[in-house]
Amino acid sequence: MAESLNPEAREAAQQAVIALRQRKPSLDDDSIQVILSGARSHYAWKDKPVPESLLQEIYTITALGATSMNSCPARFIFVRSDEARARLAKSLKAKNVEKMMSAPVCVIIAHDLDFWKELPYLFPHEDRRPLFEGKQEHIEATAFRNATLQGAYFMIAARAVGLDVGAMSGFSNQIVDEEFFKDSSLRSNFLCNIGYADETALFEKLPRFSFEQACSFE
């Protein structure tokens, strides 16, 4: 295990977690409903803009979520302009075009395959770059896995600050990468519309598996 470069900072971090747990041992039921159990995926939106300051706040919260070796491979591209929307629309299945076009913001959740080159900054305890250099399969798996985690953090953070989200996978990653990330180390994962939802478009919540159906003990 890597040793802390600053013992005082390590002690302060430990005390901060202990103090937080004492102040807030758990979330109340309404808070859990807002971010997960009562939240819904939305595909219809009110004509209400999302301020850039709120997008920055969502990212700030997201960035603090855990990733392997603090690798932080996710990149978030906020599609707002008409020109960018037209480019993104090329990649979408027909039924998803209006969902994206009507959303205040559509976010391309992507990952950077060069993430490991930033590890000296993100994980200064020891040089972990040799774990990735020349190992493309490991790079791709690590980037995809951890950026997907960050995409989920992003959705929860957006809900936590009062926005609604609607993730989409009905699109061509190849077209998105060609349009937005050509000749770069970025690759798209999934799309996420965010804004203030029009709840009149909702239908009943679909079923989920029970604990017994989805979980087991070994």
pLDDT on residue 6: 83
Confidence of residue 1 (pLDDT cuts 50, 70, 90): low
pLDDT in tens, 145-202: 999 999 999 999 999 999 999 999 999 999 999 999 999 999 999 999 999 999 999 9
CB of 191 closer than 8 Å to CB of 171: yes
Q: What is the DSSP letter of 34?
A: I
Region 101-124: mean pLDDT is 97
Q: What percent of the chain has pLDDT over 70?
A: 98
Q: What is the distance between the alpha carbons of residues 61 and 212, in angstroms, rounded to a whole number? A: 33
Q: What percent of the chain has pLDDT over 90?
A: 96
- Tokens representing 57 are 């706040």
pLDDT on residue 3: 64
Exposure b/e, 52-68, CB count within 10 A at least 16 = b = eebbeebbebbeebebe
| Topology at the third CATH level for domain 39-198 | NADH Oxidase (3.40.109)
How many residues make up the chain in this entry? 218
Q: What is the distance between the alpha carbons of residues 38 and 23, in angstroms, rounded to a whole number? A: 24
Cβ-based neighbour number of residue 195 at 10 Å:
23
The helix or strand, by DSSP H or E, that contains position 26, with its residue range, turns out to be none
| 115: Cβ contacts below 8 Å, ≥ 6 apart | 71, 72, 73, 139, 142, 143
| Amino acid in position 43 | Y
Task: Provide the whole-model pTM.
Answer: 0.93
